[in-house]
Structure 1
Amino acid sequence: MSTPLDTLARPITLGKLDLSSRFVMAPMTRKRSPGGVPTAENAAYYRRRAEHGVGLIITEGALIGHPSASHEDDVPRLTPGPAEDGWRLVTSEVHAAGGRIAAQIWHLGSERMPAETAWTPDNININGFDQLLQAYAQSARVAAGAGFDAVEIHAAHGYLLDEFLWPHTNHRSDRFGGGPKERATFPAEVIRTVRDNIPEDMPLIVRFSQFKERDYAARIADTPTELGDILGKFAEAGADVLHASQRRFWEPAFAGDPANLAGWAKRLTGLPTITVGSVGLDQTRLADLAKHDADLVALGRVLITNPDWVTLATTGRDQEIRPYRKADEDIYH
């Protein structure tokens, strides 16, 4: 009898991109890129996960080349020059291990940024919008030039693009604010810009969430209809895959229906989806994966402690999987 893990260990094709399995490495900020430049240590870190059956690796958030994106110096950037060269080493190592890798394009917005310098939906002017779109376009071109197989736009967790989607942080009265569909206008413009600056057959993933790092109860959509308004604009703008981030993948997205956020995203748009949220941390929950209509499953913290989690979980060696602990975030191997 086939199990959810058996199914996930099988190959899948996203557009024209062949993946060895349906397991995805979720993006996790590790802060190991001095001066924003990926290193050989980063390349070895990602390669190790590809060697153990992860079909698609999504990098930690890589910052666009605009000063408002972040003030942190050890988070990688996705800009021309040394950072692009560093990413080229990363992609070549992952490819040598038979893996595929996507660059996650990121702007922090006001999350973890000083209030006096943070760019937020409410304080960006027209020139600022143009600057941001140019920076996203540049990062998209760098990703393609550095050998990435796909790109992901980070529009989740309370960062800049998600701040546009959340009524708590978007009070604009122009075309970028209002109802759910209007609040999705600028994120959709970013999606369209990135789509226009990468190869036609390169998959474009968009990560979204209800919860924020600053508010786990936050919602960008109170009903499936509102969520459909937002995700419909993403699809129209050129999104190929939707990465629905939850804290716990098994929780229903809306009352009265067992579907999780990825299940609803697929139902509303017809696009392939990635589900994520404590996958593998609770082994008793793995069977629940079969209940949710997602095409791929992303693993996060469990891959910090266990680079070989996919190999162990799919070959009956569960007893060798080491439980994740908060202190494990200091591990980088």
Structure 2
Amino acid sequence: MNEQTPQLEPTLPPQPGRANASALIHDGAGAYLLHLRDEIPGIWEPGSWSLLGGGREPGDPSLEETVRRELREEAGLDIPGLVPFTVEEARTSDGTVVPIQIFAGQWTGDPASLPLTEGVMLHWFRPDVMPRLRMAPSTLDLVRRHAATNPTAHRTPRPCPRPARVATAGGSAVLNGVGVHLYLENADGKVLLGLRHPDSAYAGSTWHFLAGRCEQESALACLVREAWEEAGLMIEPGDVELNHVIHLLDAPGGQPMMQMIFRARQWSGTPEVREPDKCTGWGWWHPDELPAPMVAYTRAAIHGIRAGRLYTERGWS
């Protein structure tokens, strides 16, 4: 949407004479295409994720032509199967209420290949990830309503994890979580680190390993999956070895974590930002010149690896 795009407020009555159109683009498998707006003071929702679209111009014969023109101008997109989904009502900065026609359409291309002319980037997101993004609540609600009409697109956001307990003969025991981390060194002896998104639930605006929590999968399978999903790196399990383990307690009463750091002897691909809601950039850093701020246990793991240690504890004393 352009900088005059209003925030959705569906309870307000529309005024005649002005109208906007936006595109709710999905891939048919549960992901939606969002547009990261410029961080420019004075525009609506600067630095937020939104839909592509904009205001109707005098030469647009219909709102469908408006949204098609905006898609072409902003991203070089042509989606033949656009269909009306709903009409929202919004208020502009001057208090005028404007109807917004929302069109839905399916597309399965690579957003990085599009010639974006406005904003920062386009990216696919599933609805369960969107609560972690900076975006208008009305946009999130709109996506969820559309996702509810498509079972493959709807995912209920998972609650924040809490320490799980299991019954034992002596009462109960706290289950530890398992995290995997990728340790890569290039030919210059520099280590790959990622700068986490400012709005990340964990360690925002802080440098960290490429990492993830194990789901219903082995640690190696999780590592290979995360490397591809987060950075576009292809790693063979046979090229990986366990380099270090940190038994971590971040806070009293929190879930203890067994953080496993795996080193890949070889890989293919160049690190790229594929999940911008988690990481805003990758960089190679010499172990003697690590960036700040940096996740404390990441720094401890690098020091432990250089010293030849296999195990570190943090947060238990």
TM-score of the alignment, normalized to the shorter chain, above 0.5? no
Q: Could you state the TM-score of these two structures normalised by the residue count of structure 1?
A: 0.26
TM-score by length of 2: 0.27
The structure whose residues are more often helix, as a share, is 1
